[in-house]
Amino acid sequence: MTSPDSATYLNPMLNPEGFKLGVFAYVHEGGVTITKAPERWGARWPDIAAMARVADWGGMDFLLPLARWKGIPGEVDNRHWSFETLTQAAALSGITERISLLSTVHTPVVHPVYAAKALATIDHASGGRAGLNIVCGWNKADYDMFGLQLMEHDDRYVHGMEWYEIWSRLVRDTNDPFDYDGTYFKDLKGISGMPGTVQQPQPTVISAGYSPAGRDYAVKTADYFLTVMVDEDEGVRGIADIRDREKRFGRRAEPLKPIGVAYVVCRETREEAEAFHHYYAVENADTKGVDHYVAARAPNADTPEPLIRELRMRWAAGNSAYPLVGSPEDIVEGLLLFRKVGFCGAALSFVNYLDELPFFIERVLPLAREAGL
Ligand SMILES: Cc1cc2nc3c(=O)[nH]c(=O)nc-3n(C[C@H](O)[C@H](O)[C@H](O)COP(=O)(O)O)c2cc1C
């Protein structure tokens, strides 16, 4: 896990102060929405690059992509047009100056030796701003493209732990070759590679998940835990559960920092925001896409059944992220709720990032600062 001593480089995720605010899920068409509304995010590269510059200069802390290989079959082709996340961080490192650049990496798909080399490259190119978001996978359609079998739920984390052991050893700047013989990564010989990452002993690590196994994995590997908050009570319970797990595993590093996912619809007035929310998430929901998504996720994740049934609108609106819908003041209230529950930051998405992020930066960030975030 990232050592505070390595904070000699400008990287907002290493700064222990402040509630972290980042932009989430911007490298694929539709972002987190499953909507047919024409305003939806097209994820064309010039727009991604422009949005990244706005986020960088505007004071956001991180850019965090969702990793997809295959889209959601629906009435429109959501998420099929998508960029790869390691290469996007490398590309964005050249046109940004201070923001943290995360790469979301599927452990079953990307070999840890390759991921270590790629992260080291991004970390050097960006002056120590790289970060790894580990996802152990769930989407069978993604696996099918690689000819991979979807492992049993908890086995994915056993595989992910071996992956992490190899990756984290390799990014250290030691040039000390080692062998590895695990259950999944068998008979790897003379693993070595220079350089290690600029951040030592390793770059910022995030892990994304929800289930008990996912939480255990994050406690053992990560600095930050990217997760979902259904509502205040569930959020409080979830974070208490993470703290229990930290004790159980005798976590020695500083406490895991939870980051919640939220989608933002912010307008001058709450009425305008609610009207747009209804327009894209209800009137223009891609119902076929939502059906497909719910069916694909339900058997894999520990997402509570009532959440799947009752919150279909949240899938259309923002992939089951927490809704932040309203005026700038309403959005700050929502962010304060995340902090009250115990989150250290929020990963935010927008229907159209380039149209909406400047307004967020101009109107919400000053209020958030005033509120002590
Ligand atoms: C907030 C959040 C973000 C995630 N991002 C991705 C992603 O970008 N790509 C992906 O394939 N899976 C992603 N996942 C899925 C998880 O990595 C995990 O495979 C899935 O949630 C099932 O594991 P779990 O039951 O432990 O939550 C995400 C999950 C959460 C909760």
Q: How far is the CA of 272 from the centre of ligand 1 (A)?
A: 32
Ligand 1 near 121 CB (within 6 A)? no
Across the chain, mean pLDDT equals: 92
Ligand 1 near 335 CB (within 6 A)? no
Res 307: pLDDT:
61
- The model's confidence at residue 58, banded by pLDDT at 50, 70 and 90, is very high
Ligand 1 near 226 CB (within 6 A)? yes
Res 6: pLDDT:
42
Ligand 1 near 227 CB (within 6 A)? yes
Closest residue by CA, ligand 1 atom 18: 209
Q: How far is the CA of 228 from the centre of ligand 1 (A)?
A: 10
Ligand 1 near 137 CB (within 6 A)? yes
Dump pLDDT digits (tens) for 249-267: 998 889 999 999 999 999 9
Atom of ligand 1 nearest to the CA of 301: 25
Phi and psi at residue 39, to the nearest 5°? -75, -10
- CA distance linking residue 52 with residue 49, whole number of Å: 5
Where do the H-state alpha helices sit in the chain?
45-58, 85-93, 112-125, 140-146, 153-170, 212-221, 232-249, 270-278, 287-297, 305-310, 312-318, 328-341, 353-359, 365-370
- The model's confidence at residue 303, banded by pLDDT at 50, 70 and 90, is low
Ligand 1 near 24 CB (within 6 A)? no
Atom of ligand 1 nearest to the CA of 321: 1
Tokens in use for 232?
Answer: 């205040």
Domain holding 226, by residue range, is 4-370
Into how many domains does the chain fold?
1
Neighbours of 360 (CB within 10 A): 24
pTM: predicted TM-score of the whole model, two decimal places = 0.94
Which CATH number does the domain housing residue 230 bear?
A: 3.20.20.30
Dump pLDDT digits (tens) for 187-244: 999 999 899 999 999 999 999 988 999 999 999 999 999 999 989 999 999 999 999 9
Closest residue by CA, ligand 1 atom 11: 137
Out of 88, 107, 210, 230, mutate this one to test ligand 1's pocket (max ligand atoms within 8 Å of CB): namely 210
